[in-house]
Structure 1
Amino acid sequence: MPNPPSPSFPPAMLFDLDGTLLDSAPDMLVTANAMLADRGRAPLTLAQLRPVVSKGARAMLGVAFPELPTAERDAHVPEFLDRYERIVGQHARLFDGVAAMLAALDAAGSAWGIVSNKPEYLARRVLPQQGWETRCAVLIGGDTLAERKPHPLPLLTAAERIGVAAGACVYVGDDQRDIVAARAAGMPSVAALWGYRLHDDDPLAWQADVLVDAPRQLLDPAAWPAASPSS
């Protein structure tokens, strides 16, 4: 009998950025602590800030300034983003195994891109830092379209721009809204357990197709959920 065909990577993959490909928490910590220092406040630790990095600037400001009313904290978002823009990528690093995983996808001819809730102009700063300018097939930021995750529109638009059906893409993210968006888009999903999440988050409840502990596991094509090019 002939041997069964070896598993292959899906035709296309989309990734969240912060907490999935990039460990950007150190950049965020420097940003938040600079704001605190200017106000005569004690600095945060990485352990305090890290769980909410994937939730965005407002959530991080909530940790930095918990006593402020929501509207007052939200008024600090432009300052946070401006300070972060000045140092973006200086302290951030790829998660261990991400570079090898992306190289394997490139070698296999699979397209990959990024769909993040990070503002697009900040996400684009990361591409040349990592040598991704010609490798990343599409980048959608949180302000690129009229909707952002957990709405499916960013994922559907990314698949369209790559030129594949949504079902032919797999979305990888470390937050529940990533998995919610993928399911709404009809896209198989991978929950990245190495990323950022609150202590009481239960990734099993997100109902991702696959849960993965480390990027290196995704070097094995069999670790990916099945994608359907025709769907």
Structure 2
Amino acid sequence: MTLKDKSVLLFDLDGTLVDSVPDLALAVNQTLQQLERDTFDEATIRNWVGNGALCLISRALSASKNIDNTLPEALVTKALSLFLSFYQDCVCVDSALYSGVKETLTALKERGYRLAIITNKPETFIEPILQGLALTNLFELQLGGDSLPERKPHPLPLFTACQQLKVSTEQCVMIGDSKNDILAAKAANIDSIGLSYGYNYDEDLAVHQPNYLFDNFNELLTVLDGVGELA
């Protein structure tokens, strides 16, 4: 079985294409050190990633996945500014592509698909990561978590991508590793493919019922045959 009449693939970034936790963890801990607060191991921080920079640093300040709503706003604002500055300096040092990502993206491009990035990561960090991991020139569009008034799981980024690429929702597939991706796709009435290996807080992504759920990125090729003359 394949996804028919699709021409545009909307990809999440962190946890889907790239394991960015090593660099995120470094920047988080540098921030906490600057604020004279306890630091955390990479495995702990890994479980806080996936909802954007503000949520990540708020969890770090809370020392928990559950954000402390009593955190002073001034502290959160200062911490976020520090984090973004530190992360800018290490955005693609130890981050790495997941297995099969570059080869599969290249194959999909050759099959005629148009590729786009829709991530909750701040927009300014997208291009440095793509450049650092040699993924430039593959994506027509890049939308970050601060590109629009709303971010995933809100459908606005997906609708905006459709508008900017001049395609219908029926022509698109959302591909990601977390419930934010699947919920955004459902809200936009877009088919979705879930990937089990990313940042989903140990929750079974199958609960959110993506159209397909794969353990390996290259399995995308089994349901995406090609478009146009390549189909």
**TM-score, structure 2 normalization:** 0.85
Deviation at 1:204, TM superposition (A): 2.1
- Other structure's SS at 2:47 match: helix
CA offset digits 1:45-87 (Å, max 9, x no partner): 1110112211222333244322672635522112111111111
Q: 1:7 & 1:145 partners in 2: Cα distance?
A: 29
CA offset digits 1:64-117 (Å, max 9, x no partner): 322672635522112111111111111111111111210110111111110011
Of 158-167 and 107-116, more deviation after overlay is shown by 158-167
Contact 2:174–2:192 (Cα < 8 Å) also in 1: yes
- Other structure's SS at 1:14 match: strand
Structure 1 residues 204, 223: closer, same or farther in 2, change over 3 A? Answer: farther
| Count, aligned residues | 220
Contact 1:62–1:73 (Cα < 8 Å) also in 2: no
Of 61-70 and 150-159, more deviation after overlay is shown by 61-70
Deviation at 1:220, TM superposition (A): 1.9
Q: 2:115 & 2:76 partners in 1: Cα distance?
A: 33
Deviation at 1:191, TM superposition (A): 1.3
Q: 2:204 & 2:165 partners in 1: Cα distance?
A: 32
Q: 1:206 & 1:71 partners in 2: Cα distance?
A: 33
| Amino acid paired to 1:19 | G
Q: 1:26 & 1:214 partners in 2: Cα distance?
A: 21
- Percent same amino acid at aligned positions? 33
Deviation at 1:41, TM superposition (A): 4.6
| Amino acid paired to 1:167 | E
Query: Aligned to 2:167, which of 161, 164, 167?
Result: 164
Deviation at 1:143, TM superposition (A): 1.5
Query: Aligned to 2:52, which of 49, 53, 56?
Result: 56
Partner of 2:13: 17
Q: 1:91 & 1:73 partners in 2: Cα distance?
A: 28
Q: What runs of 5+ residues in structure 1 fail to find an aligned partner?
A: none
Deviation at 1:156, TM superposition (A): 1.4
| Amino acid paired to 1:205 | V
1:182-221 mapped onto 2 (5 Å cutoff): 182-199=185-202, 201-221=203-223
Partner of 2:25: 29
